[in-house]
Structure 1
Amino acid sequence: MLIDNNQELYPLEEEELELGMELPWTVYTEAGQLLMREGSQVDNQRKLDNLLSKGYRHREKKASDASGETAPDPTEPQPVLFDQATNPFSELDELGYQLKQLFELIEEDKARPGQVEKRCYALATQVQGLIELNADAVLGAVHMSSEHPYIIQHPLHVTIIAALVAKTLKVPQPIQLSMLAASLTQNIGMNAYQMRLHAQKEPLSKQQRAQVEEHPLEGVKLLSKAGVMDRLWLQIVYQHHEKTDGKGYPKGLKGVKIRPEARILALGDVYAALVTGRPYRPGLSAQQSLRSIFLARGKQFDPKLSQVFLSELGLYPPGASVRLRNGEVAIVIERTKDTRAPKVTSFMDSHGQLFMRMQQRDTSEFSYNVVAGVNPQSLPRLNPTLLWGIKLRRVN
């Protein structure tokens, strides 16, 4: 994980340490403070436990270019470069169909060696490319309903959020690929029954709860059987339901014992689930969902990553429904430097009548100030391409 001085620190893993060893590297805390120097002896159990719970070490970096940033490896997949005329919503819809085909390949055990990794990395780089093209529109899609079922829509939405956070943190591309591949496949172990649970109005039974808590391990087994050899990808899938306070599953890991990439996925997973309606509850507004994340920081979620996540989405994230001072209802279409004054498209007047033609508003103007969030469940389904003023065609 990147820290402020652009050095990469990663938590120590259990297999790297043993009682009586001499440290081959200097160890730091997550905040970058010195914990133990290179050459120090791990001569008692207390030191070993302290290193395992708090220790981070530098990860070897690639050669850097003149700007000081890591030079891209020409052999690894890079973000797709889309034509400026590309409709991101059409592309995301197409990605949903590609993800469905990938799941079928895995579940039916038909994948050739390397095929699942290649396809999943390709999906990841397309999400990255769409964020480069129009991050606000792509983030907006997380808050808008789609034609795809939950088992397709949800991992795509989590991947969008994870990719945005990773870009902000300047996570190296190889790690991003593993993380985004894990995000796309995080729930592959419960695809067979997730739609049934998604539609269920009653609380989970003990048997169902046990089944759900097994899905990270089942996912790792399925992916391994399908030929996935990316160890980091598999580790993130296994840990994506762990919580900072140790109350997650399947292992009840705490704090730095959870990979930072899995901690990012946990944020995206919960947020995307909160804003999506279920048969037993309506989806929450963006503001309600962000508040839930804010209140759970330091408990369920990593506090520093929570702050990055909240800052990235902003007070009124793209796709959020809001009411303006003049009574109009609008959808946020673009974040601005002033988090309280996003760009919006109004689609409903103060009397609840839909506009014949949608109107873009500057919410920094007094009469168009945002005064409240609006629960999206009470609103008609809207075409995002019209809200964002994007052409309807796909560019192949």
Structure 2
Amino acid sequence: MRFSLPDSLYIHNRLVEVNVRHGGQEPEQHFRLTDKFKQSLIEDYPAGPIPILPPTNISPVQAVPKLADYLRALNQRVLVFSDYRERLVELANLLIEMAGSQPDGVIAAIMLCPYHHYAAHHAINCALLAARVGQSYGLPPADAKQLVCAALTMNISSANLQDSMASQEAEPSTAQRQTLHAHPLLSSALLREAGVDDELWHTIVLLHHEKKNGRGYPFNLAGEDVEPLAHLLHTLDRVTAKMMPRTYRARMKPKQTLGELYAGKMGEIDPELVSHLVKIIGIYPPGSFVELADGNRAIVVNITANAATPRVAPQSHPAERIDTAQERFRIVKSLNIHVEERYLPLFYRLWSPT
């Protein structure tokens, strides 16, 4: 399918359309940055080294802030590193491995870890959720990896704006909306300039804001024209945003988020996806706090076959595990408890791989 660039001076000052032919095949449509815009981005890039990836043998609650710092530094230099794609794929592989070996721990990290830079942290959280959904669906490994890579890079061109908007209570300005509506195109173009040539990866990034009803952007596609994995990422993007707090509001409770999905308030969503999300996140996700029928407070540690009855660690005896399927320990309500960053190490051992 061929796409038409939106008729916008903002777009045409930043992007050009290029047709690339391989042998006798139909030419591929690529979007690239204009030379002037590309040079302006390079001039603004920060100098200095970037953090190293954390080891795989630590708790996800400990790893996720470090992963977000790494991704932010990497994406800020997307046009500088000749091995950008290899570094990004290495990160994606690490996230997929972590999601497979510590499925409850990665959800706990989404729930517990505070962020310093919203866009990078959101991307890591969304990529972890994408990895879990890919595993739950049984996606082919190659497709699952492309989905995770797209989650890490879909907002690469709008990260600074999204960081500032994370603390903004007002509606986006006209200029902000212009940038937001262009970011799928600009993100794909940035990836092209960085040497990423995986077509599925680009398609997911380009279409991750398209909607089945035709009211998405930037191409206003509808129905079957929307790549299924792009539609999947669009949903995961929104679910992740609901699960993360902003400076002006608390995170939405997972039960409410899933309820909105069921009710269609986040657009047309495949009911099968909602079922997978319930299985992965649960009604009371790992890392969330609850009050039990005996009056004790507890933190959810593990999802069980019944999404409404997880295993928890009571506040009074955190090494103990309680089955909330027992009537005397049933969950009576969710608690909205914010964990300050300095206390986060106390929770590492609840989801430790060793």
TM range (shorter): 0.7 to 0.9
Residue 283 of structure 2 aligns with an amino acid whose one-letter code is L
Native 8 Å contact 2:258 2:274 kept in 1: no
Is 1:362–2:323 an aligned residue pair?
A: yes
Is 1:259–2:219 an aligned residue pair?
A: no
Residue 89 of structure 1 aligns with an amino acid whose one-letter code is V
Residue 142 of structure 2 aligns with an amino acid whose one-letter code is P
Q: Who is 2:73 aligned against?
A: 101
| CA distance in 1: counterparts of 2:117 and 2:199, whole angstroms | 29
Residue 333 of structure 1 aligns with an amino acid whose one-letter code is V
1:356 shift after superposition:
8.0
Residue 310 of structure 1 aligns with an amino acid whose one-letter code is V
| CA distance in 1: counterparts of 2:258 and 2:343, whole angstroms | 24
1:335 shift after superposition:
0.7
| CA distance in 1: counterparts of 2:84 and 2:205, whole angstroms | 15
More helix by share: 2
SS in 1 for 2:190: helix
- Residue number among 364, 368, 373 corresponding to 2:334 in the alignment: 373
SS in 1 for 2:221: coil
- Residue number among 110, 132, 135 corresponding to 2:80 in the alignment: 110
Is 1:284–2:247 an aligned residue pair?
A: no
Native 8 Å contact 1:244 1:253 kept in 2: yes
| CA distance in 2: counterparts of 1:309 and 1:157, whole angstroms | 14
1:93 shift after superposition:
3.1
Q: 1:200 to 1:256 in 2, by over 3 A?
A: same
Q: Who is 2:311 aligned against?
A: 343
Q: Who is 2:349 aligned against?
A: 389
- Alignment identity in percent? 27
Q: Who is 2:32 aligned against?
A: none
SS in 2 for 1:389: helix
Q: 1:381 to 1:329 in 2, by over 3 A?
A: farther
1:46-78: CA deviation from partner (whole Å, max 9, x where unpaired): xxxxxxxxxxxxxxxxxxxxxxxxxxxxxxxxx
SS in 2 for 1:372: strand
Residue 98 of structure 2 aligns with an amino acid whose one-letter code is L
SS in 2 for 1:171: coil
Unaligned runs of 5+ in 2: 4-54
Native 8 Å contact 2:300 2:313 kept in 1: yes
Q: 1:244 to 1:188 in 2, by over 3 A?
A: same
**RMSD of aligned Cα (Å):** 2.7
Q: What TM-score does the superposition give when structure 2 sets the normalisation length? A: 0.77
Residue 349 of structure 2 aligns with an amino acid whose one-letter code is G
Residue 155 of structure 2 aligns with an amino acid whose one-letter code is N
Q: 1:340 to 1:152 in 2, by over 3 A?
A: same
SS in 1 for 2:322: strand
SS in 1 for 2:219: coil
Is 1:89–2:49 an aligned residue pair?
A: no
1:165 shift after superposition:
0.8
Q: 1:288 to 1:358 in 2, by over 3 A?
A: farther
| CA distance in 1: counterparts of 2:115 and 2:310, whole angstroms | 27
1:271-294: CA deviation from partner (whole Å, max 9, x where unpaired): 111121223322112222221222
Unaligned runs of 5+ in 1: 1-12, 16-81, 348-354
Aligned ranges for residues 176-255 of structure 1 at < 5 Å? Answer: 176-255=144-223
Residue 91 of structure 1 aligns with an amino acid whose one-letter code is A
Native 8 Å contact 2:61 2:348 kept in 1: no
Q: What TM-score does the superposition give when structure 1 sets the normalisation length? A: 0.70
